[in-house]
Chain A
Amino acid sequence: MRRTKMLLLPSANTLKSYTGKATGEVGITEMMKKRLQAELQCLTDMDKFVSVQIDEVALRAQEIYLKNYETYIGGVDYGGVLDATKAGSKLANKMLTFNVSGLAANYSSPFGVFLVKDLTSEQLLELTKYVVTELEKLGFFVFQLVTDNLSVNTRLFKLLNPNESTLKCEVPHPTDPSRTIHLCFDSSHIIKNIRNQFIDKNLKKKTTRTLISVTSSRCMKHKKTLFFAQFDTSAKNI
């Protein structure tokens, strides 16, 4: 069609760069890679140990038309890593983000964002493997994965353990089986959970007399007394 010169078509390269821009919005973009490459140049070997954090942030489910690129944005989009056609025309309500930060050196950068809805842990596993592979290609050593205490993430950790599906803090590295990758949950989220259960649940030890939680009516009284006592001392100090 080009040879006939009946139509003036953009060159193949131009078309490629257009698609690059449209899909490049999601996933691991060129800019993220460039940024980490630039970062890499001023790092020593020790600084290349990184921790990858995985978390989701809520989005408003809304589709927006981008006039400049003539595309829509807001649907479920795995950045070309996974097949998004199964999701149909579902709108994304979460943004899954992978963040890279150094263990020895102080740097951190987002590396991979995906628009998701109702993500299963199998899909999350594929995305995680993809991100870790890309990071290792750049020259980083992925030392550990951190997530919060969501059930999908717990299942991801179980799936990362290939032999038996149990939770283990060390599993084989996705790219290099001779190494291990460490898994852990975010300690602040754990403390938040402990705090909530300390207040809401009826934590008990062996006998009923040794209550731990502050829920029972007797302990509620303690808490109030304690609160007033604290109030008293602070008032005296002033």
Chain B
Amino acid sequence: MQIFSLETIAALNTFKLQGVSGFLGADETINFMKNINKWIQIHDIGSLTQWRKQRLPNKKPFNEPDDPRLKWLRDDFLPWLEEWKSQVPSENFFTNETYEAIVLTTKSTLVKVPYLLSIGFTSVLTRRFTSDKIERLFSALRQANGGNYNMDAKAALEATNKVVSTGYTYISIDCNVP
């Protein structure tokens, strides 16, 4: 997701401030990229220490139900999307499916994080909410077939069996290490 990276945003901003021709109207682009970047970071918290090591305050694991980032999602991000949607015709906005998906996922995060914290979780890592694990499973299936991206049913089922039976040993090693 290099296109929304902080470096690109900073570069755009610099050009705008220097007044390079063609960059003067980049305000909205920068704003858009900043919002999306923050959204990505909030939904991709995968480690307890990354935010400290890389100095990314948005990647801090959620510890309190009234975290300012949750407030940002609820009070800034969702209204921003809604406002934008109401302002322009549909061809100048995301497709309907994408809009529905992004709203549902944001609302879902807003519900899940406080709920998990209330039942005793000490911190919430949002990367656990994504379906990365199943994509990893699929890549394991393909590797089990010799890098075959077009496997048949038998190969896929046998590979699944292999993952089920061998994955257990790997995971149990992981379980013992806190």
Contacts and interface: CB of A to CB of B under 8 A. Distances in A.
Whether chain B is bound by chain A comes out as yes
B22 A57 contact: no
B132 A62 contact: no
Contact of A57 (B107, B121, B141): B141
Contacts of B136: 108
Interface string B132-151: 11111110010000000011
Interface in A188-221: 188-191, 193-195, 197-199, 201-206, 209-212, 214, 218-219, 221
Interface string B115-132: 010001100001011111
B108 A169 contact: yes
Interface stretch (B49-57, B59-67, B68-76, B159-167): B159-167
B58 interface: no
Contacts of A210: 25, 27-28
Interface of A: 25-26, 29, 31-32, 35, 38-39, 42, 46, 49, 51, 53-55, 57-60, 62, 64, 66, 73-74, 92, 95, 97, 99, 101-110, 113, 115, 143-144, 146-149, 151, 154, 157, 167-170, 182-191, 193-195, 197-199, 201-206, 209-212, 214, 218-219, 221-222, 225-226, 229-230
A224 to B, nearest CB: 10
Given A107-B175, A187-B44, 8 more contacts: A29-B161, A39-B171, A51-B129, A99-B134, A182-B112, A187-B126, A188-B130, A225-B22
A50 to B, nearest CB: 10
A186 B44 CA distance: 11
B48 interface: no
B98 A190 contact: yes
A39 B176 CA distance: 12
Contacts of A194: 36, 94, 98, 102
Interface of B: 1, 3-4, 8, 11-12, 15, 20, 22-23, 25-29, 32, 36, 40, 43-44, 84, 87-88, 91-95, 97-98, 100-102, 104-105, 107-109, 111-112, 116, 120-121, 126, 128-138, 141, 150-154, 156-157, 160-161, 163-165, 167-168, 171-172, 174-175
Contacts of A92: 153
Interface-central residue, A29, A38, A97, A110, by most chain B CB under 10 Å: A110
A229 B4 CA distance: 17
B129 A146 contact: yes
Contacts of A218: 22
5 contacts: A54-B131, A95-B157, A154-B97, A168-B104, A195-B4
Contact of B92 (A29, A95, A198, A202): A202
Interface-central residue, B101, B120, B131, B153, by most chain A CB under 10 Å: B153
B121 A39 contact: no
A108 B133 contact: yes
B157 to A, nearest CB: 5
A110 B165 CA distance: 10
A144 B153 contact: no
Contact of B104 (A58, A73, A185): A185
Given A110-B164, A183-B104, A202-B92, A46 B120 contact: yes
Nearest to B11: A226
A107 B137 CA distance: 12
Contact of B129 (A167, A184, A222): A184
B47 to A, nearest CB: 12
Contacts of A212: 28-29, 32
